Amino acid sequence: MTDPIADMLNRIRNAQAVLQPFVDVPYSNLKYRIAEILLRQGVIKKAEKKNNKNRRIIRIALKYKDKQPVISHLARISKPGKRVYAPAKKIRLSRGGGGFVILSTPKGLMVGREARKQNLGGEMIAEIW
């Protein structure tokens, strides 16, 4: 697999398409940090580490409102073949502030609004609304 973050986002998107209550994603520290950001932003119910038959996974409990997924759009911005970086002043507001962008900054992963407040730029990982 060349892009595990894109795989994680696709698993979430596919599980929501069939209204699954949760989705399992292979564990990595980066993917767990992304799941924590999704939890803090209120677009998923829960994210927890589990051991499943000699494999570590992240179990993500998905959130729905009136049988519609809370997340309507997941997009990978920076890809292995084309990395996308932005200085603090050029971090775009997703959907006029209705969504958010996840960035990898020198101080760790954070949402675009936090990065702008701290005047930090970085690699734009994903866009969610």
Query: Which distant-in-sequence residues (6+ apart) come within 8 Å of 106 by Cβ?
Result: 120, 122
How many residues does this entry show for the chain? 129
Query: Which distant-in-sequence residues (6+ apart) come within 8 Å of 79 by Cβ?
Result: 3, 6
Domains 4-69 and 74-128 share a fold: no
> Per residue in 71-91, pLDDT tens?
999 999 999 999 999 999 999
CATH of domain 74-128: 3.30.1490.10
Distance of CA 101 to the CA centre of its chain: 8
CATH of domain 4-69: 3.30.1370.30
Q: Taking the domains of the chain in order of start, what are their residue ranges?
A: 4-69, 74-128
Among 3, 10, 1, residue whose Cα is nearest residue 82: 3
DSSP class of residue 92?
P
> Per residue in 27-49, pLDDT tens?
999 999 999 999 999 999 999 99
